[in-house]
């Protein structure tokens, strides 16, 4: 079975330009709340199987989670 989750994470780790940090979900959300991170990306354990089971007709959303800290962006702009 294709492990999309691991492939995406591997590519993210290889991308040094964006400064990704790989931490636990709790650490990521706390750091986002504290203003230390601009955004978090969360890949649940079933991400690969969920993405692979989707068809063009499905309305089921991906289980990948994105959270943004817009306050931090506005302070930097």
- State yes or no: pLDDT of 73 exceeds 80: no
pLDDT range class, residue 55, cuts 50, 70, 90: low
Count of domains in the chain?
Answer: 1
pLDDT range class, residue 10, cuts 50, 70, 90: very high
* Tens-digit pLDDT profile for residues 11-51: 999 998 888 999 998 999 899 888 888 889 888 777 776 66
Domain around 29: 4-53+60-76
The sign of the dihedral angle between the CA atoms of 69, 71, 37, 29 is negative
The sign of the dihedral angle between the CA atoms of 2, 43, 68, 60 is positive
Q: What is the pLDDT of residue 22?
A: 93
More confident position, 70 or 20: 20
């Amino acid at each position: 079975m294709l492990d999309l989750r691991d492939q995406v994470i591997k590519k993210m780790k290889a991308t040094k330009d964006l400064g990704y940090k790989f931490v636990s979900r709790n650490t990521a959300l706390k750091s986002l709340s504290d203003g230390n991170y601009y955004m978090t990306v969360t890949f649940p354990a079933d991400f690969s199987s969920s993405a692979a089971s989707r068809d063009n007709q499905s309305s089921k959303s991906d289980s990948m989670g994105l959270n943004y800290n817009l306050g931090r962006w506005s302070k930097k702009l």
